[in-house]
Amino acid sequence: MIYSVIVDLSTSDTDKYYDYHCDEELSLGVFVKVPFGRITKDGFIIDIKEKSDYETKEILKVYDYEPVIIPEMIRLCHYLKENYLIRYIDSLRLCVPSEYRNGRIDILVKNNIKLTMPYEEAEHLIGIRAKKQIEIIEYLKDKNDGVLESELAKLFTYAQINKLVSKGILEKSEVVHNRQPEVANIESKVINLTDAQKNAIETILNAKKTVLLNGVTGSGKTEIYMNVIENILKNGQNAIMLVPEISLTTQIMALFRNRFGKQIAILHSGLSSGEKYDEWRRIRSGEARIVVGARSAIFAPIKNLGVIIIDEEHDSSYVSENNPRYRTIEIAKFRQKENNSLLVLGSATPSIDSYYLAKNGTYELVRLTSRVNGMDMPEITIKDMREQAKLNPKSVLSQDLVSKIDEVLRRKEQAIIYINRRGYSSFLRCKKCGYIPKCKNCDVSLTYHKEKKQLICHYCGEKYKELTACPVCKNTNLKDGNTGTERVVEELKNLFGNIRILRFDNDTTQRKGSTNKILTEFRQNKADILVGTQMVVKGHDFPNVTLVGVIDADLALYNNNYRCNEVTFQQLTQVSGRAGRDSKKGEVYIQTYNPNHFIFNFVKNYDYDGFYDKEVALREVTDFPPFSLVVKVLVVGKDRNETSSYTLRLYDTIKEMKNNNACITKIKASEAPINRLNDRYRYQVMIWLPVDNYESTLKEIYTHVDKINTGSISAFIDINPINMI
């Protein structure tokens, strides 16, 4: 047989079938080593045929006779190549843990000990006086699979164990040990489903199309997911459940582990290499039947899918902005079709795009309008900070919020303060000459990190020494810019003295396990206040939190992005949903300098539909999704002139397409909002396409863009971009 292989080399030139022969019979998706020019390369078998048009060489090595890519995912690779020009190899790499490809990780083998004979027989052989030995066999009495030697050695000495092995009473053998990710400890509650939950489960299980589950925060969506999955498993099918990256360490994982035990596998970036590899192998072998993970888990080698659930479907982490760029929903829909499976999108604040599809009947809409605890949604107050700014311009927290926090502390309850900026303050400015420190690689100002005594570029990560005086005019009077998490913590400490505060942002969660640690401590009431960035917004279920405060709620509103209203509405609603989730009533304080912006009224009244109507009308007049497909081509290069001239050339080409009647409604070329990043210049071409029948035009655009990718210039396509920088 002839085997077509995609070699593990991410370049466009080599991303094609190379044919090899092999005397052994191999399956599709097997990982092999092949001669490649004058060197050798690893690769994936992606096609099998009778003969080749070329003279073939022999496959040098088969790493693993069991396929690493399942046939469905090979079809997905073709689909992605065809529609988005994503290289085969880039798709294939998403399907396999990198540790596996690099051969840097291996299975972990440990010694296992078990009895070789019935207990009574062993007891007889040992004789009653050898007490320790009797204890050992007693311990192993009903453990048919035996136990790890390392476990046994915690209770007995190796000498004692080995004595029994040499007598032939115990047997030592090597077993593969699966490394398992740790999840938070949480006790399960006994739950009686509400009628709303039962109805939702019923509807989902019988759905003929994608379901949008729109349930307010605290309406018990997780319980619905678990029940749906239980039903699917009973049916002999398997499940994928996706959650935003950050929710993974929270309760949801623990709940799933409690409920489904070994049947679940967890996949996300916080795992160690060994854990990732072992979880992936358990999925491949069919031992794990439910995959819970971040977006990349959609590529898991799980067969016979009965349901795919995407929780918090509006979350931006479902769009990959790194190479290869993909939208998780697109992959999910592909797998839905392949498996004829259910697809459930859940959210308290669905994306405008999804809700639009639910309203026009493309999706089935299931709504849950109240919380399972029967309580009202927490009351939201919008606080106009312009008055405060006059009274006490130095203070970040309003008087009202301060007294609310005080009450919460007295009642021994907890508060969450959300501020979507890390560090101490956004920038420093010289009060005399106006100088603002900027990054040398990027066109952005730096953020002051007081704790680290540094100025940091939040785009490229470059660090600079803190400033004590203006480097231009030597003036020492420097003004802070907008507030960040560090400064909020500082102010809270100044106000309330000896309270316990946890900071939850990118800076405090770098070390493995730190996210889990912070959340667990907060959950166990070891802290009074959790101050954090976006990370505090999502999914958490802390029963004792009764107050949520938001600082600078308008931060994202003027982002020059068509989605900024949507994102702000979602974040404010989600974070409000963290209050009053158990038996105590919750309250929310949202501070803003733009209280008259239309979204605040909708946020305050939990009026998603009102917000949707207004926003969708805006999108319609401005030609943004869901009324158009917006294609952003970002052109990046080291040389300013070269980059801009490539951009203009692309613009001309697309213009010509338009003149030749391609279905393009609008084109714009410009500098990117951040014109220089990581020492690269950035320009963009925005192209508007209609939402139907755009496929051939889009393909043509992809082809033109691909041609720009020369050595010195890179071009990236984002469809309906979530990020406009």
Residues in contact with ligand ADP by CB under 6 A are: 189, 191-194, 197, 215, 217-223, 372, 541, 581
- CA 537, CA 533: separation in Å to the nearest integer? 8
CA angle 73, 74, 75 (to 5 degrees): 85
Nearer to Zn ion, 459 or 562 (CB): 459
Q: Determine contact, residues 295/302, Cβ cutoff 8 Å.
A: no
Give least dist CB 223 to ligand ADP, A: 4
Give least dist CB 642 to Zn ion, A: 21
482 residue type, one letter:
N
Nearer to ligand ADP, 123 or 312 (CB): 312
Nearer to ligand ADP, 89 or 308 (CB): 308
Residue 166 CB neighbour total at 10 angstroms: 9
- 508 touches, from ligand ADP, Zn ion, none (C-beta below 5 to 8 Å by class): none
Q: Determine contact, residues 31/64, Cβ cutoff 8 Å.
A: yes
Nearer to ligand ADP, 541 or 566 (CB): 541
Give least dist CB 437 to Zn ion, A: 11
Instruction: Say which residues have a Cβ less than 8 Å from residue 448's Cβ, sequence separation at least 6.
Output: 423, 424, 425, 426, 427, 428, 454, 455, 466, 480, 481, 484
Residue 219 CB neighbour total at 10 angstroms: 25
Residue 545 is encoded by which pair of tokens? 């939190």
Nearer to ligand ADP, 222 or 573 (CB): 222
Residue 216 CB neighbour total at 10 angstroms: 19
- 46 touches, from Zn ion, ligand ADP, none (C-beta below 5 to 8 Å by class): none
- CA 713, CA 707: separation in Å to the nearest integer? 10
- 439 touches, from Zn ion, ligand ADP, none (C-beta below 5 to 8 Å by class): Zn ion
- 192 touches, from ligand ADP, Zn ion, none (C-beta below 5 to 8 Å by class): ligand ADP
Q: Is 456 one of the binding residues for Zn ion (CB under 5 A)?
A: no
**Residue 324, preceding peptide bond in cis (omega within 30° of 0):** yes
Which one of the spans 130-138, 246-254, 454-462, 543-551 is the region binding Zn ion (CB under 5 A)?
A: 454-462
Residue 718 is encoded by which pair of tokens? 């984002």
Count CA atoms within 13 Å of residue 689 on its CB side: 22
- CA 227, CA 222: separation in Å to the nearest integer? 9
Give least dist CB 442 to Zn ion, A: 3
Count CA atoms within 13 Å of residue 628 on its CB side: 21
- CA 658, CA 256: separation in Å to the nearest integer? 51
Nearer to Zn ion, 371 or 421 (CB): 421
- 669 touches, from ligand ADP, Zn ion, none (C-beta below 5 to 8 Å by class): none
Beta-bridge partners for 298 = none
User: What DSSP letter does each residue of 655-680 carry, written as one string?
Assistant: HHHHHTT-S--EEEEEEEEEEEETTE
Q: Is 45 one of the binding residues for Zn ion (CB under 5 A)?
A: no
Q: Which of 606, 608, 609 is nearest to 588 (CA)?
A: 606
Give least dist CB 669 to Zn ion, A: 25
Give least dist CB 260 to ligand ADP, A: 16
- 193 touches, from Zn ion, ligand ADP, none (C-beta below 5 to 8 Å by class): ligand ADP
Q: Determine contact, residues 396/488, Cβ cutoff 8 Å.
A: yes
Pick from 80, 300, 419, 442 the residue near Zn ion by CB under 5 A.
Answer: 442
Beta-bridge partners for 422 = none
Q: Determine contact, residues 520/504, Cβ cutoff 8 Å.
A: no
Q: Determine contact, residues 5/28, Cβ cutoff 8 Å.
A: no
Nearer to ligand ADP, 67 or 215 (CB): 215
Pick from 457, 470, 567, 630 the residue near Zn ion by CB under 5 A.
Answer: 457
- 222 touches, from Zn ion, ligand ADP, none (C-beta below 5 to 8 Å by class): ligand ADP
535 residue type, one letter:
M
Give least dist CB 255 to ligand ADP, A: 7
Give least dist CB 367 to ligand ADP, A: 12
Nearer to ligand ADP, 339 or 347 (CB): 347
Give least dist CB 43 to Zn ion, A: 37
Give least dist CB 678 to ligand ADP, A: 38
Q: Which of 404, 104, 25, 364 is nearest to 210 (CA)?
A: 364
- 442 touches, from Zn ion, ligand ADP, none (C-beta below 5 to 8 Å by class): Zn ion
Give least dist CB 219 to ligand ADP, A: 4
Q: Is 460 one of the binding residues for Zn ion (CB under 5 A)?
A: yes
Which one of the spans 450-458, 469-477, 601-609, 707-715 is the region binding Zn ion (CB under 5 A)?
A: 450-458
Give least dist CB 526 to ligand ADP, A: 20
- 218 touches, from ligand ADP, Zn ion, none (C-beta below 5 to 8 Å by class): ligand ADP
- 541 touches, from Zn ion, ligand ADP, none (C-beta below 5 to 8 Å by class): ligand ADP
Query: According to CB under 5 A, which residues from 422 to 441 bind Zn ion?
Result: 439, 441
- CA 172, CA 500: separation in Å to the nearest integer? 51
**Residue 626, preceding peptide bond in cis (omega within 30° of 0):** yes
Give least dist CB 335 to ligand ADP, A: 23
Which one of the spans 57-65, 139-147, 449-457, 569-577 is the region binding Zn ion (CB under 5 A)?
A: 449-457
Question: CA torsion 630→317→105→277, rounded to 10°?
Answer: -110
Instruction: Say which residues have a Cβ less than 8 Å from residue 263's Cβ, sequence separation at least 6.
Output: 233, 288, 289, 290
Task: Measure CA of the first residue to CA of the last residue in the chain; give whole Å.
Answer: 50
- 217 touches, from Zn ion, ligand ADP, none (C-beta below 5 to 8 Å by class): ligand ADP
Helix (H, G, I), strand (E, B) or coil at 29: coil
- 347 touches, from ligand ADP, Zn ion, none (C-beta below 5 to 8 Å by class): none
Nearer to Zn ion, 462 or 607 (CB): 462
Binding-site ranges for Zn ion (CB under 5 A): 439, 441-442, 457, 459-460, 462
